[in-house]
Amino acid sequence: MKKFGIVFLVSVFPLVIMGAGIVQKAEAQLSQKAEEQLSEITESFRRYLQSVLETIEAEVKPEAQPSEKPVALLAGKEYENANWEYFNRCGGCHGMLRKGATGPALTPDKTKPIGTEKLAKIIFNGTEGGMPGWGAGVNVYTKDDAELLAKYIQMEPVAPPEFNMKEIRATWKVHVPVDKRPTKPMHNRNWENFFAVILRDAGKIAIIDGDTKEIVSVQDSGFAVHTLRYSKSGRWLYTIGRDAKATIVDLWMDPIQTVAEVKTGLDARSIESSKYESKKVNYVDKLAVVGNYWPPSYVILDGLTLEPLKIVSTRSYTYDTQEYHPEPRIASIVASHYYPEWVINVKETGHILLVDYSDIKNLKVSAIESERFLHDGGWDKSKRYFIVAANMRDKLVAVDTKTKKLKAIVETGVKPHPGRGANFKDPEFGWVFATPHLGEATVALIGTDPKHNPENAWKVVRRLKVGGDGGLFIKTHPESNHLWVDHTLSKDIDAQRSVTVYDIRYLNAAPTIIKLTDKGRIVHMEYNKEGNEVWISVWDRQGEIIVYDDKTLTEKTRIKDPSLVTPTGKFNVYNTRLDVY
């Protein structure tokens, strides 16, 4: 039985075996040569190997599980494909170690009782809890693909490798040196009204002229880019893929080019640059930072070349139960307007880190205890308070970045997901911050003006009904009277393809619900620089960008092109660099 387990391990865990350099081929029985190779394994690896063998033996013993059919496990190319798919598409919600996060744990004790057939249906069709149907919903997987992953998640999890500085530096490339870049814009376009559009499944970014609606450039990026950020100057576009590949795109060049890239790990979600300046110091565009999911860490980079400078681990203890967590991932990052600091949100431990980047050799980090499962967030109107969703705890957390202390924790509804949120002046309650929810069809408004409206500050002052649950993003603009909400992850197909629009002057009135498409899903709204147009993505393999007149709520045009493959987030240069939302 033991030899069977070792032979099985060689076929199922090729990366582990190759990494140790101990076995070249699995045979019916271990050869003498293999036995000699095994004797050379270090003691620590021997213990790890033995534990895996014992797990396999326990699984295949008929007397241990007499009523279960053996799971058809994967090996070779099938295993590699499933492994890649999990780490790049599933790990973000279920954890790279499959121990659960936003989504439930997918360890064998949870998945094997469900079985391959039911698991494949869940993967293909999605769930009512908010997971999209990767086959029926977003048309990414075939039924065979879903079955492959269903088998994979019944196997023992294999931790992905760590990514150290040597490995990061090996991926670093500068395509255009700093001294070879232009000193002024080389084209006559209104680049501050450019929109950078994530082409999620294509691994690309489209740059669209907001004035002419022309696609100016399509640039390679990481896989399934999660977010985009611009430098404070607006010239540099920073992208981060879920595969942890970061790039800088120079919007002044003609043609527009990607000037540098680096891969900071295996999985990431956030990127930001240094933006603080005063009469004494100027850090604008000097540094950048990437927040990794795996390895759990943040990586500080040169802001113009992406040269990796420092890795900082986030492995730590949860703020509440004081339990060690091996995989505390970084969600959103923003740059403080008060100090040379980044606000870095660590999901699983519930800590908000204020990282002082003025001296990275002697790094100063303030850790604020807040709430667990921190996700996306944005600034209030004053840009003093950063407001972030602890979505699995149904709360928003507000941090005062001037005093560097927790300001408030507000329960808003089931799974708030504000994106960057929306700020506007409620006619009754003053300045508010708005968030939709994944788990219910409501928008919550919380008061954010403790100076002028202290009685309303850090409370839910109003709840608005929307056309569907599954809300991912909300948007308004200082020049607009409207508030737009999507329902991307709603269980209702019509809701997925619609938006809800409120007139913020008359919030007691019924909103307008607009169905925009008969395919895919609607996701993410973004205003142009002037605040009179709203751009909306049709998330589909044959995607579109719908441009609406914000004043009349009428469609102006549709941007269609074969390159627009699964467009999702769009980021206007002017609004994003100045945190206008």
Catalytic residue ranges: 90, 93-94, 131, 375, 417
CB 341 within 8 A of CB 275: no
Bond from prior residue into 450 cis (ω within 30 degrees of 0): no
**What would the two tokens of residue 504 be?**
């913020």
CB 276 within 8 A of CB 340: yes
CB 431 within 8 A of CB 447: yes
Distance of CA 232 to the CA centre of its chain: 22
Q: Which residues fall within 8 angstroms of residue 339, CB to CB, at 6 or more apart?
A: 276, 354, 356, 401
Residue 488: closest CA among 566, 410, 555, 548: 566
What residue ranges in 328-451 does DSSP mark as E strands? 330-335, 341-346, 351-356, 364-369, 374-379, 385-390, 395-400, 405-411, 422-426, 430-435, 442-447
**What would the two tokens of residue 210 be?**
């907001």
What number of H helices and E strands is found in the chain?
A: 12, 35
Q: Which residues fall within 8 angstroms of residue 251, CB to CB, at 6 or more apart?
A: 185, 191, 194, 207, 234, 235, 236, 237, 573
CB 581 within 8 A of CB 421: yes
The number of C-alpha atoms within 13 Å of 201 and in the hemisphere containing its C-beta is 15
| CA dihedral for 213, 215, 221, 223, sign (positive or negative) | positive
d(CA 578, CA 160): 37
Distance of CA 237 to the CA centre of its chain: 17
Residue 416 DSSP class: B
CB atoms within 10 A of CB 186: 13
SS3 content of the chain, % helix, strand, coil (to 5): 20, 35, 45
What's the chain's Rg over C-alpha atoms?
25
d(CA 166, CA 174): 17
Q: Which residues fall within 8 angstroms of residue 482, CB to CB, at 6 or more apart?
A: 476, 501, 502, 503, 504, 534, 550, 553
Bond from prior residue into 454 cis (ω within 30 degrees of 0): no
Q: How far is CA 354 from CA 86, 360, 364, in A?
A: 31, 13, 8
